Chains A and B, each alone.
Chain A
Amino acid sequence: MFEQRLDSKEATIAGKDIGRVEMDLRVGEEVPMEEDDEFMLSRNYFLAKEAGSTSRKKSTQKLSDIDLIDEQVLRMAVSAIKPKHEKEIESLIKSYKDLYSKWLFELRCGFGLLMYGFGSKKILLEDFASTALTDYGVVVINGYLPSVNIKQVVITLAEVLSDQLKDKRKNSTGSKSRTQQPFRSQSIEDLLSFLNLQLPDDNDCFICVVIHDIDGPSLRDSESQQYLARIASCSLVRMVASVDHVNAPLLWDKKMVHTQFNWCWYHVPTFAPYKVEGSFFPLVLANCRNAQTTKTALVVLQSLTPNAQSVFKILAEYQLANEKEGMPINALYTKCRERFIVSNQVTLNSHLTEFKDHDLSLKEFLVASFQIFSCCC
């Protein structure tokens, strides 16, 4: 979805230029630099297209021409890459410490902070949160992970805020603590209205949500962004987030930008390696088929029935525990029966056939009349 938007951005640029120029004629002021930039952008696009069409003819080099090394070795090598300019990067990140006070000031004034620029900003944001935001509860969301449950996040936020308010009540006189339903059983609307309470006496009581990669894979869909925007607009919540994708602003509409997130942008390139953030991406020089298989295997697994998923899980767990040997079918059947996953061998066999048919890398051995399955996913 994100990629599609990204394409449409490129496609509409030429049209946008015309609109902007007209607008500026009306304003009668000097044309801002952006216009030139956008003109260059569209020009470059077509130049690149042209160059692409010629270079495609020229360059017919195959990836296999490279002396590719084994994937395992490559993965090891990736984790052992010697960092460059460690000191400089550290001092670059440290140089942003001077801005912490400003960031805090802006948060206290009701703005959200959005950090962008090349390099992982994970360390920077968490350092900011743990040094400058000690007076406020801080919840960190790792948006770079493949899945984040927003409802769980909101429950946690409500709990942290509730603790913070309780502490405050203890210290101030005359207010009563309200007994209420546990947060886990409340609807998301109730939780959001709790986060949006108007405190009459204190406008400096809030909790902070730090989101690494608010444009990350798990948060890219519009529903998640809508919920995040609603969280950000709550009076007792402030948001500090980072974006890495160049087209991240396309995630938000005018309402989200102007009334909910209320971002104050900061360009803070760190050049720190995207260690964790990048760990979920396939390696381009690793066997591409493999990467595809992992992806497709996931799709297949998700579309299986819960029972079939459980059978695969048992098989996978066994495989992880015993790397070298496969699982005898009898053992698998017994285990599945114990857990009420299958009731007869026929069902189990049908599940196994399905795994094989869908290329879930299941190897079958027939060793001395024992059928042994091994899972290589």
Chain B
Amino acid sequence: MSPSPISIPPSSPIADDTTDDNVLQPFFVLHKALPQKCQRKAAGSTRTRRKIDLPHSSPKSPEKSDAVASSVGPNDANHERLRLEAFNMTWSKIDTTIKEVLTRIHRNLFAEVHQWALESFLALKSGKPRHALEIQSPYPLLDNVICRQIPTAMILTKNAEFVDDMLTFQELGEHLKYKGCHIANLLSMDFCAKDGIAGCLRSLLRQLVVDAPDTADMSVLSSWYCEPENYDHPVIIVIDDMERCSGAILADFIRLLSEWVNKLPVIFIMGVATTDTAKKLLPSDALQHLQASKFTLGSPLERMNALVEAVLVKPSFGFNIGHNVAVFMRNYFLGHDGTVISFVRALKLACVKHFSMEPLSFLGIDVCDENEVFLHGKCDALPDTLLKYAFNLPSCKRGKDCKNSRDDLGEGLSDLRKLLKAWSSVILCLCEVGKNNKIQLLDIFCEATDPALSSLDPSNHKLERLFNGQNLAEGRLDFKGGLIGQLVHTVRELPLSSLIELLDLWSIHTEELYEVHGEVRELQSVVKSSNSGNNLKERQIDCHKMSMSLCAGRTSLSVNGKAAALLDNMVRKFLMPIECLCFHEIICFRNVDILQSALIGNPRRNIQVDLMKSTTYIKCSCCSSNENVLSPTMHDTSVMYNLAQEHGDLINLQDWYQSFKSTVLSTNKLKSPLQHSPMSKKVKSSPSESEASIQARFCRAVIELQIAGLIRMPSKRRPDFVQRVAFGL
């Protein structure tokens, strides 16, 4: 991983400040922000995207030999700013898209809930006092003795992990707010036994009443509701994770609100995992105050497919992921916790890493812009060092014999855009076929990005070939046996009615892919003409069966065959994995190791590896490089941990001490921990100072292992043993 070029103030000497008073302060202010920088930022922040000025190339800029990230020269601070701005723009676009997609998926549910809320509100209103004074007066609580019920929407979440649905509930709240309801989102934390009912009431008031006093008083809420702008709208309380709430507090809250419900039209929306949740959590007297209706959320896989389509397949963001990253993210999604939110987080981290590591990533936002003026403008303004860097990219080196001019870069990038568009059209066509087969888009995406599936030698690959499509047939993309092969096969067996629908969808997806679009239209007309000849009954007959019976189904069979051939052709011509394209590094993130290590820290393994192989980090000349040999000069804690490996789950302190002592005192003899024997008693008694220092070193190493959580201190029951906690990496 090469360090990226960034502006860091001149390095300060790393001082050992343990004598500082601050070390014993629970917290302290290290420093405050420098005022002048704020000013600069305030001025800079008003700039809009199109005003981003590229620092012009300076012929005098020093060039370093290794033209990777470190080669950008003196203007790197500006480029870093550009990359940061580009990231912010790109991510805000992706984020908005994700939100839109998720809202679209839940649109029906939201509308249903809204309709239900309105109906419930009307029902509540029918028994409601009409005068504001009546609402505000605390007594009588009820005008009739019949138990009042609070309308409650129990929304069943299909997720094992609740974290994914938080966003959904937040959006549901926003949707209902937009429709004119008063919304309060209460968290499970608000219903904790420690704060009692006051905690959730305070939170409710805080969200509804502006400048709410810090007292939990229902009368504040009732007088707020009587204000003309608040009156006559339902008050909806969203509790996203009911199961985590304290049952007793929630029950109190429900009882309290049920007393007010004829004055304050309160409606609950609660997220539950099963229908039994409420029964388990609440006592029956609280339960009877709830008038429950059930709603169900969509599954995470459904959301995932929609997300992949909108974010990864459509190339409109200037950021994409390579095959390894895609496979990692898919496994992370399926194997980690199956939450969309973790996938989105992984994607964001990949995006940050890309923009932080790739010097030219700021060009990405313009790569996907139809208007090429900005792209060419930016390419023209690139300094020589960056230009050289661009043409030294591996994808460019292997494919091009161009003159390395700025125009070539601009051309190359606009070609990349065109190719990506074609690629995404084909994926969408495949996805439509996959829907019939219940094949997930994420799987298709992973396969389609795999450069290994293409048997084309990337070193011989030239951009021009792709569009001509002449040599590609020779390359024979081998998708047999894979998902894509299956999909092509599926098309052959589709019933005619599905085929017609499929072709309609294809014609939408290939609108901008003129070559294919013509063929699709042609095929559509053939299908329709053959279809019009058949009667309604025949239309529903599976063409596969027709081929089996060898009767009058030849036309439709050939239509299926043609459609399959068309798909096959599209795949061969245009489904070129992004990693085979020129300049793809600028928009494609491929470094799966970096993503994985940043996303999933593995302290349990890595801290142990640090200790077992300390010499790989402390590169000194004195310690042996052989892993199995402990040398007395090695880091004490490392020696101790290596020695601890010989013991079982309990380590006898005396044994451990003696073996440590013998290791650190052995001057020249290097000893293997595996051949340890209790010869330690033979060690000659050394001077008392040395004994003290060895004991001190032993104690400190034990403390350090304790801090790392690798051992536990002796207990009263076993005062002579420490306990090992971690076993193996």
Contacts and interface: CB of A to CB of B under 8 A. Distances in A.
Nearest to B343: A258
B635 A85 contact: yes
A281 interface: yes
B239 to A, nearest CB: 15
A90 to B, nearest CB: 7
Contact of A88 (B618, B706, B714): B618
Nearest to A265: B601
Given A122-B18, A141-B26, A244-B709, 20 more contacts: A10-B727, A23-B334, A27-B330, A44-B727, A45-B728, A56-B721, A59-B655, A61-B652, A62-B654, A66-B654, A85-B620, A88-B620, A92-B618, A102-B6, A130-B31, A137-B32, A187-B214, A246-B725, A278-B703, A281-B706
Contacts of A140: 22, 27-30
Given A140-B22, A269-B610, A135 B334 contact: no
Given A32-B331, A131-B9, A137 B728 contact: no
B28 A139 contact: yes
Interface in B584-634: 597-601, 603-608, 610-611, 614, 617-620, 633-634
A215 to B, nearest CB: 8
Contacts of A117: 603, 606-607, 610
Contacts of B126: none
Contacts of A94: 11, 14
Given A94-B14, A246-B607, A278-B700, A288 B35 contact: no
Contacts of A23: 334-335
A55 B636 contact: no
A256 B34 CA distance: 31
Contacts of B728: 37, 40-41, 43-45
Interface residues of A, number: 146
A264 interface: yes
A145 interface: yes
A88 to B, nearest CB: 5
B29 A63 contact: no
A84 B655 contact: no
Contacts of A55: 647-648, 650, 652
Given A45-B728, A89-B618, A271 B635 contact: yes
Contacts of A67: 685, 691
In the complex, the 7 A-B pairs of residues with the closest C-beta atoms, listed nearest first: A52-B648, A101-B6, A265-B601, A44-B728, A51-B648, A77-B696, A61-B654
B88 to A, nearest CB: 7
B256 interface: no
Contacts of A249: 601, 603
A170 B347 CA distance: 38
B720 A109 contact: no
Interface in A94-139: 94, 97-102, 104-106, 108-109, 111, 114, 116-119, 122-124, 126-127, 129-132, 134-139
A37 B606 CA distance: 12
A98 B35 contact: no
B529 interface: no
Nearest to A255: B163
Contacts of A81: 693, 696-697, 700
A36 B722 CA distance: 28
Interface of B: 3-9, 11-12, 14-18, 22-35, 37-39, 41-42, 45-46, 80, 83-84, 87-88, 91, 161-163, 166, 189, 202-203, 206, 214, 327, 330-331, 334-335, 337, 339, 341-342, 345, 349, 352, 355-357, 597-601, 603-608, 610-611, 614, 617-620, 633-637, 647-650, 652-655, 657-658, 685, 688, 691-693, 695-700, 702-704, 706-710, 712-714, 716, 719-722, 724-729
A338 interface: no
A167 B30 contact: no
A108 B35 CA distance: 18
Nearest to A277: B707
Contacts of B637: 118
A299 B80 CA distance: 54
Interface centre among A43, A258, A277 (most CB of B within 10 A): A258
A334 interface: no
Contacts of A126: 17, 30
Contact of A129 (B25, B30, B83): B30
Contacts of A135: 33-34, 37-38, 41
